[in-house]
């Protein structure tokens, strides 16, 4: 049995290919954008005419790049914090079945630190282009572009408070992740149940803090893009999307590791439970998505329906709206419904990447229409930036996987995990 | 008691681990076990008995699908075809509005259907008579029932087999079918 993950040169080479492939696609995408005249002299006037009465700034090609950077930053950071949340939940519930697999979500959490730094950098570059509310003139009563609604939200949506929240959330998440890592390493070294009891306390506090901070983070990082619009379901909606992506990634990584000779002690019942998680939370995501949609559809208040008008009435975004629902609900619902499909890895190996891509589309659909309006596009640039981020993300989590042994040999409930039977 | 009915040999077991081992060794002898009764769920007993997976989930899916169809038919029939009404400025066919009721009907019918199916297949239906081989199986004893006619071993040999596998008692009982 291979105990420590071997991050060999072959995998690194593939990640490098992925990175450069993504980079080349992104550059092609950028050149396409510049050459199509999208956002340069000729077309900006038309765009301006449409948007200027709204007070929005004109469209430039780099806005699309920024919007992509932000989507990927939020998406991957969310997956990594949700993976840590998964670990915390296992300790809070004192679960035995998952004792053997916890090292995989712990490794996914390694992205949290680089992801946080990246988020701060990307925010520093893109703030005016993505977050409309960061413009000073919106709050200036003498300016013709003064916005009464946004001015009313000034107490919450102002740069110092926003940045403070961002740093606080990322910091406190990382603090708890570091604590969990410390005690896991301690458990490996000394054994006994002391670390396990400590981890229970740490995880309990973390779960409570995460429940509040995650919701607020979702308002800040995603909801505030559509500054005028609001939804009380949004924190949950983003949580569901992150959470199911993290579950799909954990499942996919465990299956792949098992296929490559690692984690050979993981039996089909554990895979089955992970598959149930992916299935159940795909339905949970749909529940949240639909609750948000139904209330707005039924109440039919213009300031709320605008969010869906932008997505449903647009020829460009409407197909994504359908793809989002098909990939994230209909496909997993029917594909993973039977017991056999969750028990045998062949189905999950198809379903997990599809769900991961589906939730990337979900975030694309949350961010892009608000930032780019009718100038949105999906082409080389989107795929390229996603590939660049994916390669960096995989590099960080795979090198994180080598830092601890794959088996938590001193976990007091390891034995239960090895004999898990459902 | 007359002689009509089916004759069974029943073994009484005190401990579930003894019972599990006994099931394996009895089945290894080629004996066909009719059923095992226990006062609480015993983990892993289905695989020892060689039971195939229950098809209850298929019934659940069918009943759920029936619920979906019924709910949609009812609502579309009433508010779209029979008496079209504009409610809240929506179309005559406001599909999102129908979803919650459809969901509820799906859950309701699949749950009721599953319970009903389970009652019927496990002889708990009102007109059915559940077989109780030994009343102590509802208290603290495990009961293994073997139908004599279905096996080519004599009653005495079966009793001896059960005894040798840890049964505290081996009785015979006549059940009317």
- For residues B66-75, give the mean pLDDT: 95
pLDDT level of residue B16 (50, 70, 90 thresholds): confident
On whether any CB of chain B is under 8 Å from the CB of A290, the answer is yes
Statement: residue A387 has pLDDT above 90: yes
pLDDT level of residue B43 (50, 70, 90 thresholds): confident
Sorted by where each starts, the structural domains of chain B and their CATH numbers stand as 6-53+134-175 (3.30.70.260), 56-121 (no CATH)
Write down the pLDDT at residue A187: 92
pTM, 2 dp: 0.89
Q: State how many domains chain A has.
A: 1
Question: pLDDT (tens digit, 9 = 90+) per residue, A61-108?
Answer: 888 999 999 999 999 999 999 999 999 999 999 999 999 899 999 999
CA distance A278 to A286: 12
pLDDT level of residue B157 (50, 70, 90 thresholds): confident
Write down the pLDDT at residue A1: 56
Residue A266 lies in a domain: yes
Residue A2 lies in a domain: no
Short-list A397, A110, A421, A157, CA closest to A273 = A421
Write down the pLDDT at residue A110: 95
Write down the pLDDT at residue A40: 46
Statement: residue A54 has pLDDT above 70: no
Write down the pLDDT at residue B49: 87
Short-list B55, B4, B46, B1, CA closest to B23 = B46
Question: pLDDT (tens digit, 9 = 90+) per residue, A345-367?
Answer: 899 999 999 999 999 999 999 99
Q: Which chain B residue's Cα is nearest to A419?
A: B44
Write down the pLDDT at residue B3: 60
Say which of B44, B53, B97 has its CB closest to residue A298.
Answer: B97
Residue A375 lies in a domain: yes
CA distance A399 to B154: 67
What residues make up the domain containing A190? Answer: 9-418
pLDDT level of residue A374 (50, 70, 90 thresholds): confident
Is A300 within 8 Å of B53 when comparing Cβ atoms?
no
Residues of A in contact with B93 (CB under 8 A): none
Statement: residue A226 has pLDDT above 80: yes
- For residues A310-328, give the mean pLDDT: 93
- A186-203 burial: b if 16+ Cβ within 10 Å, else e: bbbeeeeeebbebbeebb
Question: pLDDT (tens digit, 9 = 90+) per residue, A134-156?
Answer: 998 889 888 888 988 899 999 99
Statement: residue B177 has pLDDT above 70: no
Q: At what angle do helices A61-92 and A380-401 cross, to 10 degrees?
A: 30
Residues of B in contact with A290 (CB under 8 A): 96, 99
Most A CBs within 10 A among B45, B46, B64, B96, hence the mutation to make, goes to B96
- For residues B116-132, give the mean pLDDT: 83
Query: How many angstroms away from the CA of B96 is the closest CA of chain A?
Result: 6
CA distance A203 to A122: 30
Segment (H or E) for A372: helix A345-372
Is B99 within 8 Å of A290 when comparing Cβ atoms?
yes
Write down the pLDDT at residue B88: 81
Is B61 within 8 Å of A337 when comparing Cβ atoms?
yes
Residues of A in contact with B58 (CB under 8 A): none
On whether any CB of chain B is under 8 Å from the CB of A142, the answer is no
Residue A4 lies in a domain: no
Q: Which chain B residue's Cα is nearest to A291?
A: B100
Write down the pLDDT at residue A254: 95
What separation in angstroms does the CA of A327 have from each of A333, A343, A360, B93? 10, 21, 10, 25
Residue A3 lies in a domain: no
Residue A323 lies in a domain: yes
Short-list A237, A337, A333, CA closest to A285 = A237
Most B CBs within 10 A among A294, A334, A343, A416, hence the mutation to make, goes to A294
Q: Are A246 and A108 in contact (CB under 8 A)?
A: yes
Statement: residue A43 has pLDDT above 80: no
Helix and strand counts by DSSP (H, E) for chain B: 5, 4
Residue A168 lies in a domain: yes
Is B89 within 8 Å of A298 when comparing Cβ atoms?
no
Beginning with the edge strand found earlier in the chain, give each strand of the sheet holding B142-147 in spatial order.
B33-37, B142-147, B6-13, B169-175
Q: Which of A80-84, A191-195, A376-380, B29-33 has the highest mean pLDDT?
A: A80-84
What number is the ipTM of this complex?
A: 0.79
Residue A1 lies in a domain: no
């Amino acid at each position: 049995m291979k105990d420590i993950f071997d991050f060999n040169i072959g995998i690194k080479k593939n990640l490098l290919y992925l990175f450069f492939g993504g980079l080349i696609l992104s550059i092609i995408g950028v050149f396409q954008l510049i050459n199509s005249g999208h956002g340069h002299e000729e077309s900006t006037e038309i765009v301006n005419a449409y948007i200027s009465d709204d007070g929005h700034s004109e469209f430039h090609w780099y806005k699309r790049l920024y919007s992509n950077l932000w989507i990927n930053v939020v998406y991957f950071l969310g997956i990594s914090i949700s993976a840590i949340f998964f670990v915390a939940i296992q300790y809070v519930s004192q679960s035995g079945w998952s004792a053997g697999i916890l090292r995989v979500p712990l490794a996914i959490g390694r992205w949290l630190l680089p992801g946080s730094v990246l988020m701060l950098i990307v925010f520093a570059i893109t703030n005016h282009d993505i977050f409309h509310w960061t413009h000073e003139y919106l709050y200036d009563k003498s300016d013709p572009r003064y916005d009464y609604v946004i001015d009313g939200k000034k107490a919450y949506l102002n740069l110092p408070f926003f940045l403070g929240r961002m740093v606080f959330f990322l910091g406190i998440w990382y603090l708890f992740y570091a604590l969990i890592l410390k005690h896991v390493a301690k458990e490996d070294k000394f054994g006994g149940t002391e670390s396990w009891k400590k981890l229970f306390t740490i995880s309990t506090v973390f779960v409570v803090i995460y429940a509040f901070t995650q919701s607020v983070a979702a308002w800040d990082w995603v909801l505030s893009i559509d500054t005028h619009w609001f939804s009380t379901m949004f924190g949950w909606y983003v949580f569901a999307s992150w959470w199911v992506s993290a579950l799909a990634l954990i499942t996919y990584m465990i299956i792949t590791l098992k296929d490559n000779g690692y984690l050979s002690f993981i039996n089909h019942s554990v895979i089955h439970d992970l598959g149930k998680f992916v299935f159940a939370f795909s339905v949970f995501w749909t529940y949240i998505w639909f609750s948000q949609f139904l209330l707005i559809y039924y109440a039919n208040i213009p300031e709320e329906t605008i969010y869906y008008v932008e997505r449903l009435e647009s020829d460009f975004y409407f197909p994504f709206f359908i793809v989002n629902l098909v990939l994230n609900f209909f496909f997993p619902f029917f594909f993973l419904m039977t017991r056999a499909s969750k028990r045998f890895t062949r189905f999950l190996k198809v379903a997990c990447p599809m769900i991961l891509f589906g939730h990337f589309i979900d975030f694309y659909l949350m961010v892009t229409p608000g930032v780019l309006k009718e100038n949105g596009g999906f082409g080389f640039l989107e795929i390229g930036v996603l590939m660049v981020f994916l390669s960096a993300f995989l590099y960080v989590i795979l090198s994180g996987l080598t830092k601890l042994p794959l088996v938590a040999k001193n976990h007091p409930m390891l034995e239960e995990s090895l004999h898990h039977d459902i | 008691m007359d002689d009509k009915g089916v004759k069974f040999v029943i073994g009484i077991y005190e401990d579930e681990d003894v019972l599990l081992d006994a099931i394996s060794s009895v089945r290894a002898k080629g004996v066909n076990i009719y059923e095992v009764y226990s006062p609480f769920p015993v983990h892993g007993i289905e695989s020892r008995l060689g039971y195939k997976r229950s098809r209850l989930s298929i019934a659940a899916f069918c009943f759920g699908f029936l619920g979906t169809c019924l709910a949609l038919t009812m609502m579309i029939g009433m508010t779209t075809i029979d008496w079209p009404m504009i409610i809240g400025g929506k179309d005559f066919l406001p599909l999102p509005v129908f979803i919650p009721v459809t969901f509820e009907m799906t859950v309701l019918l699949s749950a009721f259907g599953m319970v009903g199916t389970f009652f019927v297949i496990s002889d708990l239906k009102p007109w059915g008579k559940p077989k109780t081989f030994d009343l102590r199986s509802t208290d603290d004893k495990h009961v293994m029932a073997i139908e004599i006619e279905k096996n080519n071993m004599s009653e005495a040999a079966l009793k001896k087999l059960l005894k040798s596998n840890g049964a505290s008692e081996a009785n015979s009982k006549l059940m009317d079918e």
